[in-house]
């Protein structure tokens, strides 16, 4: 059965790190690899990143249960230390499950950074996300916070 279910969410975090450092955690391949990954036991299979408007990023990995996730994005708008806008397809075991538009905003708050991620997704062919993407994004933002503290 084919069809599309739409969903959107916003995740906010504040980090005690300057905006430039938080932005770099998204813009630099090695910095991003420290936090943009699956849970313990997840094995990275592919990681490519060309951080520029029109550039692409790919992060593919295998979970301990054998399932594979494949994140494939294209950057559409980048304003250093202010925002990143990208579109991405998400695959599980080779099947496209969603197409999303994500906006990441960076704002100075005192000596730290307020990060806001808003995502609008089209979940495909009866794939029911049931809030999983929002939950997973929250976990990634917590992992980002830990990587910034190191």
Residue 1 banded pLDDT, cuts 50, 70, 90:
low
Residue 74 has pLDDT above 70, yes or no: yes
Q: How many domains does the chain have?
A: 1
Rounded to the nearest 5 percent, the helix, strand and coil shares of the chain are: 20, 50, 30
**pTM score:** 0.93
Phi, psi of 143 (to 5 degrees): -65, -40
Domain with 113 in it: 4-149
The enclosing domain of 21 has a CATH number of: 3.30.530.20
Residue 141 has pLDDT above 80, yes or no: yes
- Contact between 47 and 30 under an 8 Å Cβ cutoff? The reply is no
- Contact between 111 and 18 under an 8 Å Cβ cutoff? The reply is yes
């Amino acid at each position: 059965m084919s069809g599309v279910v739409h969903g959107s969410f916003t995740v906010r975090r504040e980090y005690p790190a300057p905006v430039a450092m938080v932005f770099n955690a998204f813009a630099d391949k090695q910095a991003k690899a420290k936090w943009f990954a699956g849970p313990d036991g997840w094995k990275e299979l592919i990681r490519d990143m060309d951080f520029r408007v029109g550039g692409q990023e790919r992060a593919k990995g295998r979970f301990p249960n054998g399932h594979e996730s494949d994140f494939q994005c294209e950057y559409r708008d980048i304003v250093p230390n202010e925002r990143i806008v990208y579109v991405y397809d998400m695959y599980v075991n080779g099947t496209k499950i969603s197409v999303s538009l994500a906006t990441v905003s960076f704002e100075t708050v005192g000596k730290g950074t307020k990060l806001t991620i808003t995502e609008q997704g089209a979940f495909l062919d009866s794939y029911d996300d049931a809030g999983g993407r929002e939950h997973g994004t929250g976990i990634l933002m917590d992992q980002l916070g830990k990587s910034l503290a190191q």
